[in-house]
Structure 1
């Protein structure tokens, strides 16, 4: 009986030691006592996630017929590299038409701003002098016919006709004088403003036509790899319709999730190590921690994990060498501040 009790006591001690060892294995870290319960800082936090590489659908800003697609699927491209073009004759004709309209409105505006030429002023002045001579001749005619009518050598009707001709000549003289004043004064400011507005509109149309011509060429927004050629030469596409699908090389993100008890040990900017199942290791940093809790993603199949609330964390990887691919499962190792550094993930 005593031997049995001895075995039971030994078994209880072994179980207690194993429980303590398991506890420290799960909560390995540094504990700091305070007024509240002790705060244990884990040596490291191990998270599991997937690589999240950004992709972008590339398309033209204008509609047209595809002329060339200059890259193949799998090609590496650099920022600013030409990837595809549309047929350009229609866009070039639009530029030529807009250029002609802009040149015409510019000439009209310059004509108004410069005012009348010296020759035009001289012409108006000559007309005034001509009309003055006509008036003088009409006055002499009236005078002669008035004397002849008084002496009875001509009819009074001829005298009245001469007076009417004099009035007409004087009116034409006044018209020529006013015309000379208008020529010297130049165009009205409202006419100049209207011509300037018309030229501004034509210049904007020209700029738009040139931009549309430039938009007939598609360039890579960043370094990356061509995933898919969506359209081929000869296809008629609408503005914004995808032509190529590009996977961007930088930045590469890792999407992972952390439970609330570990949330207090993770801060934006802290260093992270991203490990792949093939043995690759990459340095990075925590870039984003979601402020909103969510249920564990459905890709986690255990019932226990599905019912837990977690927070999404984005880790930005530095210096990727193509070892990280879209959707690849990875392990993220974080060392909280105050923990004992040097532990490695199993």
Structure 2
């Protein structure tokens, strides 16, 4: 065999190998018509932990990257002024309660005075009937009785007023205590600290953000699919996620959201080709119980590809068989 013939055979073999690889790759990557795919990034639901009232940050107890549990204290606001106001409110309650005691004592006194005035009036009326005293003196006793009765009603009204003052003071104290309680910022749910947005000593306005949490049990990937595929997709359809960082793993998921409106919509859609270009936003969500099993491995922002099943009654190709890393702690 000549050298030239050998070189020709080598070139032909290389071309055949290249063609075979391209054919294998195209057929390996080609999806069945009942599976659609889109690129996206793993996202987790963000939870903003903010102060309800304006104030100074006293301490921040967590750092970025920390895992926190629901109810865990994340930060505290300075409550010195509020505690002083609470002390003043409690003093007002004590004063109002003393006024209630005094008002009740006055009622007892006025009741006694009224009873005495009624007895004096009864004696005076008896003596007038017998002619022992003048009618003018009996009228005076009647006036004393009416005055005592009015004083009793005034005392009762004062008691009601002082009781309302106690209620108002208690409500004020409860309000201040609520503000103090709200100054302790806790995690509303389990998650990971993504950002520490404020430091001790900073003065924040009402609603000022202190911590951003990621809820690692609410993780999804957003993709976009064209009109031709969106009509065959249902909420609840099966899905798979494969991340670029760990392509050996296939993560099961489910379609949780399909946008009712197209994205990138032209102002006027007049032709079929334009309608086919319309893209709809889809959310592919990972089951919370699966995320809890791998909570330490969950990372937001990782790029990858999501695959969704169009219609029903089909099965996933072998390369989309679920394959997960070991659960945390195993």
Q: Could you list the structure 1 runs, at least 4 aligned residues long, displaced by more than 6 angstroms after superposition.
A: 21-28, 109-115, 128-137, 190-193
Gaps of 5+ in 1: 1-20, 30-41, 144-162, 297-303
Deviation at 1:123, TM superposition (A): 3.5
User: Is 2:164 the partner of 1:174?
Assistant: no
Report matched runs for 1:1-346 at 5 Å: 29=32, 42-105=33-96, 116-117=107-108, 119-126=109-116, 172-182=140-150, 198-277=165-244, 278-279=246-247, 280-295=249-264, 308-318=277-287, 319-320=290-291, 321=294, 322-336=296-310, 337-344=312-319
Partners in 2 of 1:110 and 1:283 — Cα distance?
A: 70
**Relative to 1, partners in 2 of residues 1:135 and 1:45: Cα closer, same or farther, differing over 3 Å?**
closer
Deviation at 1:314, TM superposition (A): 0.6
Deviation at 1:115, TM superposition (A): 8.5
**Relative to 1, partners in 2 of residues 1:110 and 1:341: Cα closer, same or farther, differing over 3 Å?**
farther
Deviation at 1:207, TM superposition (A): 2.0
Deviation at 1:133, TM superposition (A): 9.2
* Residue aligning to 1:18: none
Partners in 1 of 2:314 and 2:126 — Cα distance?
A: 115
Q: Retained in 1: the 8 A contact 2:110–2:155?
A: no
Give deviations 1:159-188, integer Å, cap 9, x for gaps. Answer: xxxx9xx95x55642332113434666866
CA root-mean-square deviation: 4.3
Q: Retained in 2: the 8 A contact 1:61–1:240?
A: yes
Q: Retained in 1: the 8 A contact 2:59–2:76?
A: yes
Q: Retained in 2: the 8 A contact 1:62–1:238?
A: yes
Gaps of 5+ in 2: 1-23, 266-272, 322-330
Q: Give the alignment's TM-score, normalised by structure 2.
A: 0.69
Deviation at 1:129, TM superposition (A): 6.2
Indicate the SS of the match to 2:210: strand
**Relative to 1, partners in 2 of residues 1:261 and 1:285: Cα closer, same or farther, differing over 3 Å?**
same
Give deviations 1:60-100, integer Å, cap 9, x for gaps. Answer: 11222222111122211111100111222221222222233
Aligned length: 281
**Relative to 1, partners in 2 of residues 1:136 and 1:230: Cα closer, same or farther, differing over 3 Å?**
same
**Relative to 1, partners in 2 of residues 1:25 and 1:243: Cα closer, same or farther, differing over 3 Å?**
closer
Deviation at 1:248, TM superposition (A): 2.1
Partners in 2 of 1:249 and 1:22 — Cα distance?
A: 35
